[in-house]
Amino acid sequence: MISFGMLIGPLSLAAGILLLLIVLAGFLWLTGKMEGYDPVNEMMFRDNPALGIRYALFVIAVVLALLGIFDRSQGDSGAWLFTQHALLAVLLIYLSRYLNDWLILYHFSNNHEVVQEKNVAVAVVEGATYLASAYVIAGAFYDWENGLLIALVWFLIGQLLLIVLAALYRLAGRAVDSALDDKNLAVAISLGSFLLSGGMVCGAVISGPSQGWRHDILIVSVYLTSWLLLMLIAHCVSDRLVFRSSRLGDEVIEQRNIAAALFKAVIFLAVTLGYTHG
């Protein structure tokens, strides 16, 4: 049974997260105004669901990244250390936004699509990159007491891996960017779940103590290559056995079949969870 004294830790952390949410609301409002739009007007009067998705997944990603850093730090206590970690989580997720905007969704302006066009498809993919980055951050900062610089390098390596995964998805798919520009939510769910799965794998493999750069890079390469092969096998098996009358890719891209996209997302995420926890 949990004693009252044991509740102090969970309650204090929850209170800190609640305070962080209030600060993040102000931060997102300020950055929105700086980028030329009013977030309150967009969500309350223009009923912009895309911006709501962007903000919601950004906040969840910040909290996940914070917990990944905070839980793995030895001897953490006090409001000041919590604030430091929260600030680091916000900065890294915000940095990942621009890296992914420039190098993953580079065919169009995210702000134009999300704010002016209310493009939910682009918002879903953007939000998925936030969540994927949160897993990367949690893995990169697993042992960050041994050096902040090393943790930041692994964070950048993780971002590079996400960019490579997005490029591989484009090669396997057909006209992914035009589909997103055309507000194809099914494609967004498929691509977003693939990137999120990739972030989970990256976070898992780069976590833990380093055994030297050469050994670490080799392990990361083998682990990711094995996962990619596993994803390919899972996709082919599901395509042949479940969607025998039509190809899964055609259902997602051409038919905009959200049910097929969710099926594909479940395959990506469920198999990845099994792979990373095996």
**pLDDT tens digits, one per residue of 87-107:** 989 999 999 988 888 888 888
* Average pLDDT rounded to a whole number, residues 259-272: 91
The neighbour count for residue 147, using CB atoms within 10 Å, is 11
> Residue 5: which pLDDT band, with cuts at 50, 70 and 90?
low
Nearest by Cα to 276 from 168, 198, 189, 192: 198
Predicted local confidence at residue 243, as pLDDT = 60
Please report the pLDDT score of residue 140 as a whole number.
87
pLDDT at residue 124 is higher than 50 = yes
What confidence score (pLDDT) does residue 75 get? 46
pLDDT-derived band at 142, boundaries 50, 70, 90? confident
CA gyration radius, the chain: 20
What is the predicted pLDDT for the residue at 94? 93
pLDDT digits (tens, 9 = 90+) for 47-69: 999 999 999 999 999 999 998 88
From CA 184, how far away is CA 124, in angstroms rounded? 11
3-state secondary structure labels for all residues of 65-104? HHHHHHHCCCCCCCHHHHHHHHHHHHHHHHHHHHHHHHHC
Assign 1 a pLDDT band (cuts: 50, 70, 90). low
CA distance 39 to 57: 15
Residue 246 confidence class, pLDDT cut points 50, 70, 90 = low
**What are the structural domain ranges in the chain?**
10-276
Could you give the residue ranges of the DSSP H alpha helices within 141-253? 148-172, 176-181, 185-206, 213-241, 248-253
Q: Which amino acid is at 19?
A: L
Report the C-alpha dihedral over residues 219, 224, 226, 229, rounded to 10 degrees. -160
DSSP tag of 7: G
**H or E stretch at 42:** helix 39-44
Q: How is residue 251 written in tokens?
A: 């259902």
Mean pLDDT to the nearest integer, 186-205: 94
Biggest alpha carbon distance in the chain? 60
Rounded to 10 deg, the angle between the 213-241 and 258-276 helix axes is: 140
Q: Among 9-13, 24-28, 112-116, 123-127, whose mean pLDDT is lowest?
A: 9-13
Residue 53 neighbours by CB under 8 Å, 6+ apart: 120, 123, 124, 127
In contact, 131 and 200? CB cutoff 8 Å = no
Do 93 and 65 meet the contact criterion of CB atoms below 8 Å apart? Answer: yes
Positive or negative, the CA dihedral 230, 236, 240, 246 is positive
Q: 95: exposed, middle or buried (C-beta count within 10 Å: 0-12, 13-18, 19+)? A: middle
pTM of full prediction above 0.85: yes
**What is the H or E stretch that residue 16 is in?**
helix 8-34
